[in-house]
Amino acid sequence: MQLSPPYLLFLGDAHDALAAKTAAGIAHWRPEWCLGQLRLPGCATTLGLPDMTVEEAAAQGVRTLVLGVANRGGVISDAWRATILAALAHGMDVASGLHQKIADIPEVAAEAARRGRQLADVRHFTGPLSIGTGAPRSGRRVLAVGTDCSVGKMYTTLALSRELQARGVAAEFRATGQTGIFIAGSGISVDAVVSDFISGTVEHLCPAAAPDHWDVVEGQGSLFHPSYAGVSLGLLHGAQAEALIMCHEPGRSHMRGLPHQPLPDLAECVALNERCARLTAPGARVIGFAFNTSRLDEAEGERVCKATADAFGLPCVDPVRHGVAPLADALK
Amino acid sequence: MQLSPPYLLFLGDAHDALAAKTAAGIAHWRPEWCLGQLRLPGCATTLGLPDMTVEEAAAQGVRTLVLGVANRGGVISDAWRATILAALAHGMDVASGLHQKIADIPEVAAEAARRGRQLADVRHFTGPLSIGTGAPRSGRRVLAVGTDCSVGKMYTTLALSRELQARGVAAEFRATGQTGIFIAGSGISVDAVVSDFISGTVEHLCPAAAPDHWDVVEGQGSLFHPSYAGVSLGLLHGAQAEALIMCHEPGRSHMRGLPHQPLPDLAECVALNERCARLTAPGARVIGFAFNTSRLDEAEGERVCKATADAFGLPCVDPVRHGVAPLADALK
């Protein structure tokens, strides 16, 4: 999955900022790729980008229309379809993070074929599948793991890859989810891969590299999430990461989406991730913590991070509030 | 996925017994469903069933032609296609365990639609997908886990479900792989499900049941197999089994298909499976061992089982040589 920037971000009729969360992530991490936004009547949010029609975007050099928005019912409405067809007619690719595939809409597929444009349904992997082997490979790799879903794994790995690059270290962010793919311009949505191929797909995503090159791999889910732990374990084995960063949101009352399921104990979560990672990366260990403390005030956020750092003898930061320099230091 | 027996087992041009392994498993466990076999020129193996043409099978009441055979290159040859079309023309369903979908062959799909017959590609799940929740559910469940792939999980769970039924216990075998599906007549090939849905699919496969009803769930892979551990973990969480049976083949030098990967220590494998299982089944524990000792002589096989039984204080049997009565006893 290889996307072509720059992008026009389609917000459709998003009713709030949450519905445009993916687009907001792209605009935050890739402002240089985001030339404008396209909003339909009823759209109640903005990314602060210039509003553009498809025609204006094409004139400014946009190469891909990005559907980075959640919609009601998961159905692509006629109002959206007209914009998609217009983008294709103006020579753009179209990339979508929706569950429904744009390539499954006959009219859209036919127009893309006629124009020779790419339709990229980034949630659906269509590349060649391979079975993982776990065979040792060169290069250095760090993976974000977590106590739960949606605790900041993507933010942490994006920030860490930037920090390493700023220090002159050869480092690359490897995207495993839809927003990460739009931001990186490539990647594989691992939770959409047939389960036999999870680890093999990740081996393909972060292949053997130069001995001092870091792949910074976005994590997904948690070994302790009853819905998605299989994805997390296949990702852990495929990444073959020598270094793990444990991501966590202090104060959560239960696992995301499952009111009956308690959060794991942090030490137990570290121990299980290390134990499982060592199947394919014998020396693997957690080298630090990334906490999302956005629901705490600043003093309390610092207190919580310091307590964890002291308890484990490892750096613990909120990447948004404190940056990730201590995590980059710990990779040396 | 619901199949209609009785079956005609298609062996195609299988060059040896291994190529017809799936068909042999069906004939072993469901002799009453297997009215005959159909062999093409070049077939060098037999199941010992009556040879039948499609016409003869139809006359005897066969309802499904089963492609329970591996073929070279994974392509369905024209020679096979003629048999498939003939079966549909005689009012049979066709079920296949091949990777290539028979439903993807336009001529076959059109004929099945015209005749109103079912094409069942049992490796490819097409039912509704749901996300697992891990919420507690009623009924009792036992799952086969393993140190590796292909160590006897299907055989063990089939034998155990028969043993329980013979004792008057309400018990059902739940198939998670292609051969098991043909034998049970239903089931889900979990390794073919999109990874986000592994545990949810298994929750659907062995749903809430009467408090004294046992679901005996076929296992897949191993938490220690770098290729497939994600499948195994999702299956473990979805099964929510209070009882685990650890399957193992003593004397294996490496994990199946991976010469560089050593087998796990048995005690470590027990500990990790119990630890992970308890996420959704708090009291889960290994209640016994099923060893495949076919490569050892009988005395050595008994010695190995007894040594493990003594070391763990749990029953350890070779289901083929000794039966599974001690495992059924341990479920009480």
* Alpha-carbon distance A111 to nearest alpha carbon in chain B (angstroms): 24
Calculated CA dihedral for residues A238, A242, A248, A253, nearest 10 degrees: 60
| Contact check, Cβ <8 Å, A230/B198 | yes
Paired strand residues for A67: A10, A96
- Provide the pLDDT for residue A100: 85
Closest partner CB to B196 (pick from A191, A226, A233): A191
pLDDT of residue A66: 98
Contact B230 A235 (CB under 8 A): yes
**Cβ contacts (< 8 Å) between A231 and chain B: which residues?**
195-196, 198, 230, 234
Here the ipTM equals 0.94
Burial class of residue B323 (count of CB atoms within 10 Å of its CB; 0-12, 13-18, 19+): middle
Residue A195: list chain B partners with CB under 8 A. 190-195, 198, 230-231, 234
Catalogue the long-range contacts made by A101-104 (C-beta closer than 8 Å, 24 or more residues apart): A102/A67, A102/A76
Output the CA–CA distances (angstroms, integers) from residue B189 to A196, B121, B199, in the order listed: 10, 10, 12
- Residue B128's contacts (CB-CB under 8 Å, 6 or more residues apart) are none
Token code pair at residue A308 = 């964890």
The domain B140-330 is placed in CATH, from the list 2.102.10.10, 1.10.3720.10, 3.20.20.70, 3.40.50.300, at: 3.40.50.300
Helix (H) or strand (E) holding A218: none
A 95-134 residues with CB < 8 A to B: 131-134
Residue with structure tokens 């709030």? A16
Q: Which residues contact A307 (CB under 8 A, 6 or more apart)?
A: none
Q: Residues 159-198, chain B: which have Cβ within 8 Å of A?
A: 190-196, 198
* Topology annotation, domain A7-121: Rossmann fold (3.40.50)
Tell me if B226 and A133 make a contact (CB, 8 A cut-off): yes
**Closest in A132, A226, A237 to B279, CB measured:** A226
Q: Out of B132, B200, B226, name the one closest to residue A279 (CB).
A: B226
CB B167 within 8 A of CB B328: yes
Chain A nearest CA to B13, separation (Å): 27
- Test the B interface: residue of A131, A191, A227, A272 with most B CBs within 10 Å: A227
Q: Which amino acid, B261?
A: Q
Pairwise CA distance, residues B159 & B28, whole Å: 12
Residue B192's nearest CA partner among B184, B206, B181, B208 is B181
**Inter-chain touch B192–A194, beta carbons under 8 Å:** yes
Give yes or no for a contact between B134 and B199, defined as CB atoms under 8 angstroms apart.
yes
Which residue is closest to A264 within chain B, CA to CA? B279
**For residues A75 and A47, is the Cβ–Cβ distance under 8 A?**
no
On the CB side of B280, CA atoms within 13 Å amount to 32
Rounded Cα distance between B101 and B78, Å, is 15
Chain B: residue nearest A232 by CA?
A: B230
Task: Give the A:B interface size as CB pairs under 8 Å.
Answer: 126
Residues of chain B with C-beta less than 8 angstroms from the C-beta of A200: 227
DSSP H or E stretch at residue B126: none
Chain B nearest-CA residue for A227: B132
Contacts of B234 in chain A (CB under 8 A): 195, 229-231
CB-CB under 8 Å, A230 with B237: yes
Of B190, B195, B279, the CB nearest to A231: B195
Task: Give all strands (DSSP E) within B167-294, no chain letters.
Answer: 171-174, 214-217, 243-248, 285-291
What are the chain A neighbours of B279 within 8 Å (beta carbons)? 224, 226, 229
Instruction: Please state whether the peptide bond connecting residue A6 to the residue before it is cis, i.e. omega within 30 degrees of 0.
Output: yes
Whether B199 and chain A come into contact, CB under 8 Å, resolves to yes
A233/B229 touch (CB, cutoff 8 Å), yes or no: yes
Residue B197: name the closest of A214, A99, A241, A108 by CA. Answer: A99
A63 touches A93 (CB < 8 A): yes
Distance from CA of B133 to the nearest CA of A (A): 6
Distance separating alpha carbons of residues B272 and B228, to the nearest angstrom: 16
First to last CA, chain B: 31
Strand pairing of A214-217 and A119-121? unpaired
- Which string of DSSP letters, residue by residue, matches B26-48? HHHH-GGGEEEEEE-TT-----S
Angstrom distance (rounded) from CA A74 to CA A78: 13
Mutate which: B99, B195, B263, vs A, most A CBs within 10 A: B195
Q: Where are the domains of chain B?
A: 7-121, 140-330
Q: In what order do the strands lie in the sheet with A7-12?
A: A34-39, A7-12, A64-67, A93-96, A119-121
pLDDT given for residue B72 in this prediction: 67
Number of Cβ within 10 Å of residue A136's Cβ equals 11
**What is the C-alpha separation between A316 and A250, in angstroms, rounded?**
12
Structure tokens belonging to residue B69: 């055979």
CA distance A326 to A324: 6
Tell me if B258 and A135 make a contact (CB, 8 A cut-off): yes
Return d(Cα B245, Cα B265) in angstroms, integer: 16
Residue A120 three-state SS: strand
Judged by a CB distance cut-off of 8 A, whether residue B136 touches chain A is yes
Burial class (CB in 10 A: 0-12, 13-18, 19+), A59: exposed
Q: Catalogue the long-range contacts made by B297-303 (C-beta closer than 8 Å, 24 or more residues apart).
A: none
How remote is the C-alpha of B81 from its chain's centroid? 26
Nearest to B198 among A135, A195, A260 (CB): A195
Tell me, yes or no, if B237 comes closer than 8 A to chain A by beta carbon: yes
Euclidean distance between CA atoms A300 and A298, whole angstroms: 6
Q: How many CB atoms lie within 10 A of CB A34?
A: 24
Tell how far CA A94 is from the center of its chain: 19
Residues of chain B with pLDDT under 70: 72-74
Distances (CA, A) of B281 to A16, A263, A271, B184, B199: 39, 15, 20, 25, 13
Q: Is B261 left (phi over 0), alpha (psi -120 to 50) or beta?
A: beta
The answer to whether residue B135 neighbours chain A at the CB level (below 8 Å) is yes
Residue of chain A minimizing CA distance to B124: A194
Is there a contact between A276 and B192 if contact means CB atoms under 8 Å apart?
no
Interface residue of B196, B202, B224, B236 to substitute, partner A, most A CBs within 10 Å: B196
The pLDDT tens digits for B274-322 are: 999 999 999 999 999 999 999 999 999 999 999 999 999 999 999 999 9
Instruction: Please calculate the CA angle B289-B279-A179 and round it to the nearest 5 degrees.
Output: 125
Can you name the residues that pair with B288 across neighbouring β-strands? B245
Looking from the CA of B138 toward its CB, the CA atoms found within 13 Å total 5
Half-sphere exposure at residue A226, Cβ-oriented, CA atoms within 13 angstroms:
29
Q: Across the interface, do B234 and A229 touch by the CB < 8 Å criterion?
A: yes
Instruction: Tell me, yes or no, if the pTM score tops 0.90.
Output: yes
Q: How far apart are CA B88 and CA B110, in angstroms?
A: 10
B194 — phi, psi (to 5°)? -60, 135
B321 exposure class (CB count in 10 Å sphere: 0-12, 13-18, 19+): middle
Which strand (E) or helix (H) includes residue A326?
helix A325-330
Supply the DSSP string of B249-285, one letter for each residue.
Answer: -TT--SSTT-TT-PPPPHHHHHHHHHHHHTTTSTT-E
Q: Which helix (H) or strand (E) holds A196?
A: none
Tens digits of pLDDT across chain A (332 residues): 799 999 999 999 998 999 999 999 999 999 999 999 999 999 999 999 999 999 999 999 999 999 998 876 667 888 899 999 999 999 999 999 988 899 999 999 999 999 999 999 999 888 788 899 999 999 999 999 999 999 999 999 999 999 999 999 999 999 999 999 999 999 999 999 999 999 999 999 999 999 999 999 999 999 999 999 999 999 999 999 999 999 999 999 999 999 999 999 999 999 999 999 999 999 999 999 999 999 999 999 999 999 999 999 999 999 999 999 999 999 98
Tell me how far apart the alpha carbons of residues B311 and B330 are, in angstroms, rounded to a whole number.
16
| Chain B nearest C-alpha distance from A176 (Å) | 13
